Amino acid sequence: MIEIYAQHIEDTWFAIAVNQQQIVTSSFGTDQKTTINNVLHNIPFNLPFQVFNESTAYAEQTFTTLKSIYDGKNVNTRLSLATAHLPAYSQKVLKTTSTIPLGYVTSYGSIAKAVGGGSRAVGNIMASNPFAPIVPCHRVVRADFTLGGYGFGLKVKMQLLGREKRGFSSPKEIEVGDGRLTVFPVENVLKASPKIVYTNHKCRRAPLKASEHNG
């Protein structure tokens, strides 16, 4: 039985689907109904589930971690994610995305170069990321450091990145499996997209257009 929990922390709703202390999917937003629906959308087909009004201790701890990630804080806690039901390539892309450090971004094309495939395939996986904000798909941008797409809206993506800036000035490389991933300071994105303002958002999910995830 998959257990679904939601919690309102300050001005944001967080929701998770859990199976034996593994996160099946997670989401966030400004209203409870949409946030829970995002989670329901990503539950594997034909698996039984139940929405609970009261959170367990594990769910409470998870929500605290999600809020810290959302606030741009350095989180050392590793959350166990249920990925076995996902295609192998999706697992590889999501795992690689998880290695992008706080304060850095990378491009769709850089991930494709590190794991194989093309930038469009990577973009499609980012658009359907079932573990927001745990798997930081908001740290994946276009090669020219413009934002690309984001299912929760570009203003939200810029908000998240703005909270994550750490004053880094140089790119670096990270080993990911048999490849290497180049990451860049998030400040590059903040300079490239100055017209995106920091405002409250309406949560939504939508697939990226081909023109929105060029790496």
Domain ranges of the chain: 2-70, 88-212
Which residues are known catalytic residues?
137
The pLDDT tens digits of the residues spanning 23-40 come to 999 999 999 999 999 999
2-70 in CATH: which number?
A: 3.30.160.70
Architecture in CATH of 88-212: Orthogonal Bundle (1.10)
What pLDDT shows up at residue 45?
Answer: 86
pLDDT score of 195: 67
Q: pLDDT tier at 101 (50, 70, 90 boundaries)? A: very high
**pTM exceeds cut of 0.75:** yes
Query: Under a CB-based contact definition with an 8 Å cutoff, are residues 160 and 138 in contact?
Result: yes
Q: Which residue is it, tokens 């658009």?
A: 127
